[in-house]
Amino acid sequence: AQSVAQPEDQVNVAEGNPLTVKCTYSVSGNPYLFWYVQYPNRGLQFLLKYITGDNLVKGSYGFEAEFNKSQTSFHLKKPSALVSDSALYFCAVRDEPGNMLTFGGGTRLMVKP
Amino acid sequence: KAGVTQTPRYLIKTRGQQVTLSCSPISGHRSVSWYQQTPGQGLQFLFEYFSETQRNKGNFPGRFSGRQFSNSRSEMNVSTLELGDSALYLCASSLGQGGTGELFFGEGSRLTVL
């Protein structure tokens, strides 16, 4: 079975400061990991994914994520937050090619000016 | 390239009625997945279709059903609506089934059950 946990319901950060949104996962095999962002009344937009290779993955809008196998984590990061980054962020995992994508509960990011 | 299109965007139904939601995937995408999003339960997987066959199914009652047509368009149906079915229903498409590919989501159909 596969599962994802996002331990923080909300993360608050000041504009210009670095941000981290946490994600931990549980899978039986090798994980395929994804981050998505959702703006109000919109669908989810893909940010980045880890499949294999370099543990640091770079994605859209300046976001990056670090895969840590020993800690089973895939935290989302950005060096300098923007007010426009305020949104709902979802981490997702798939452990077998034929499995569906399982999402975490989401973390609301609030960036204040 | 057009994105994933979901219709209708908003709808209001009463308990006991049924509803059909439609999803047109990105051209060339053969896999369509459906998710239910609610404030309390987050994103819950409903089902996934690939080449007109249901490949995966989530833990929802039989009132929730779906299908995929030969042009990859998909519909989902909810019969005997309950208040708890009020949610944003999201459709997502991808080139193939599962694998390493990401999902591309539509903007959703917001269902309100009164």
Residue B49: CB partners within 8 Å, gap ≥ 6?
A: B31, B32, B33, B55, B66, B67, B68, B74
Task: State pLDDT tens for residues A7-66.
Answer: 999 999 999 999 999 999 999 888 999 999 999 878 899 999 998 888 999 999 999 999
Q: Which residue of A has its CA nearest to B58?
A: A100
Length in residues, chain A = 113
* CA-CA-CA-CA dihedral for A56, A5, B102, A17, to nearest 10: -50
Sign of CA dihedral B19, A40, A48, B37: negative
Chain A residues close to B102, C-beta within 8 Å: 34, 46, 49
> Judging by DSSP bridges, how do beta strands A64-68 and A73-78 pair with one another?
antiparallel
B81 touches A at CB < 8 Å: no
What pLDDT score does B1 carry?
66
> Judging by DSSP bridges, how do beta strands B74-78 and B64-68 pair with one another?
antiparallel
CA distance B89 to B54: 18
Partner-chain residue, chosen from A49, A97, A103, that has the shortest CB–CB distance to B102: A49
What pLDDT score does B40 carry?
79
What pLDDT score does B39 carry?
85
A–B CB contacts, 8 A cutoff, strictly below: 59
CB contact under 8 A, A99 and B102: no
Partner-chain residue, chosen from A42, A43, A100, that has the shortest CB–CB distance to B33: A100
What pLDDT score does A103 carry?
94
The whole-number average pLDDT for the span A91-103 is: 85
> Judging by DSSP bridges, how do beta strands A87-94 and A73-78 pair with one another?
unpaired
Question: Closest by alpha carbon to B56, among B94, B20, B104, B83?
Answer: B94
Partner-chain residue, chosen from B100, B105, B107, that has the shortest CB–CB distance to A32: B100
DSSP state of A95: S
The whole-number average pLDDT for the span B92-106 is: 84
A108 touches B at CB < 8 Å: no
CA distance A63 to A60: 6
Amino acid, res. B75:
E
The residue with tokens 């962002």 is: A37
Task: State how far the alpha carbon of A34 is from the alpha carbons of A58, A76, A109, B51, B65, in Å.
Answer: 12, 10, 17, 24, 27
Chain B residues close to A60, C-beta within 8 Å: none
**Contact between residue A22 and residue A90 where contact means Cβ atoms under 8 Å apart:** no
Does a cis peptide bond (omega within 30 degrees of 0) precede residue A31? no
